[in-house]
Amino acid sequence: MIGTDLNPALTPVAFLLGTWRGEGEGQFPTIRPFRYREEIRFTHNGKAFLIYTQRTEAIDSGQPMHGEAGYLRLVGDGRVEFVIAQPIGFAEISLGRVDGMRIDVECASVGRTPTAKPVTSISRSLWLDDETLRYELKMGMEGAPLAQHLRASFHRSD
């Protein structure tokens, strides 16, 4: 895709393009806190969406932990639609806005496979803080309201 011009609709989120590496920490009322190493990539193919992939691994062993893949659609007036597949059996539709160097989205729907954990809602914030990319993710499950789950920070690696 090198050489493909950026779709003008993507200008507000061009700050995300590239590969980002960093570390994060996870928590939830039902689990023991944990840390992870993470890589996030945002690429494009000339259309009005960013292509998003992410993977995390254990800091000590390098063992794969989580991964996600999806698309961040820019649909006008700062509105964004984030469509994400998760290998733990979720298909997430999140909606929100880009405002300056910050994106906030909340789940409009979470599709779940029969064997997936009962996640009911996710909210995500992603922002550029000087040259550091940061995100926070809150999660709610059946019987457990939306609560802080993940927080990570990144530096651009290409």
Q: Which residues here bind a second copy, judged by CB under 8 A? A: 1, 4, 45-47, 49, 51, 53, 55, 63-64, 67, 69-71, 73, 75, 81, 83-87, 89-93, 95, 108-115
Contacts of 74 (CB under 8 A, 6+ apart): 9, 10, 12, 13, 48, 49, 80, 98
CB of 151 to a second copy, least distance (A): 23
Q: How many CB atoms lie within 10 A of CB 46?
A: 11
CB of 121 to a second copy, least distance (A): 13
Residue 115 or 130 with smaller CB distance to a second copy:
115
Residues in the chain: 158
CB of 105 to a second copy, least distance (A): 11
Q: Identify any residues that bridge with 109 across adjacent strands, giving them in sequence order.
A: 93
Residue 108 or 147 with smaller CB distance to a second copy:
108
Residue 114 or 130 with smaller CB distance to a second copy:
114
CB of 58 to a second copy, least distance (A): 12
- Rg of the Cα trace of the chain? 15
Q: Is 99 exposed, middle or buried (0-12, 13-18, 19+ CB in 10 A)?
A: exposed
Residue 85 or 148 with smaller CB distance to a second copy:
85
